[in-house]
Amino acid sequence: VVAIVSPSPAEAGSITLAAPSAVLLDGASQQMLYARAPHAKRAPASTTKLLTVMVALDHLSLDRIVRIPDGMQYVQPSKIGLHAGETFYVRDLVKAALIRSANDAAEALAILTAGSRLEFAHLMNRKAKSIGAYNSNFINPSGLPASGHYSTAYDLARIMMAASRYPFIV
């Protein structure tokens, strides 16, 4: 669980969560107001797509028209049904990845950005480190479970804060 807010100290002290890991950061000072196992490595699941979109937007214009690469029809489980050769605006793939949690849109953005999943994972990890998410490692753009694919509540909070600087995301 990640939250970025500016509550009063009394409000921060009354938070009750069932999550095994959680972080509450002050949005202005980035001070940790609440933490439960903030540096425990866990599967980030679909929150991975936020970093995927940030990396894609660092390299691709929202108004760029792109052709869907081969193999997207095999991506599972959450998808919008992309097929090789179809054309889309990058903005529509971003919306699909973030709003519909479409794994095929995330995978397409990765390949269109870096040429391969592996190269895109390198870009994701570089981006994560550049924003202070030092205890994460990303293997894929969708967040599907994979050996070595992990993040922490604190790192996800850092990623969320960085995402708030992307006008199209907020």
Torsion of CA 145, 150, 155, 158, to 10 degrees: -40
Distance of CA 49 to the CA centre of its chain: 3
Q: 101: which residues sit within 8 A by CB, 6+ positions away?
A: 46, 49, 78
21, 49, 78, 127: the catalytic one is 49
Q: Rounded to 5, what percent of the chain is helix, strand, coil?
A: 40, 15, 45
The residue annotated as part of the active site, out of 21, 78, 101, 151, is: 101
Q: How many CA atoms lie within 13 A of 131 on its CB side?
A: 22
* 101 annotated active-site: yes
Angstrom distance (rounded) from CA 105 to CA 21: 28
Task: Examine the residue annotation and report whether 46 is marked as an active-site residue of this protein.
Answer: yes
Active-site residue, 164 included: no
Question: How large is the C-alpha radius of gyration of the chain?
Answer: 16
Q: For residues 60 and 43, give the distance between their C-alpha atoms in angstroms, rounded to a whole number.
A: 27
Instruction: Read off the tokens for 7.
Output: 């509550």
Would you please indicate which residues are annotated as catalytic (active-site) residues? 46, 49, 101
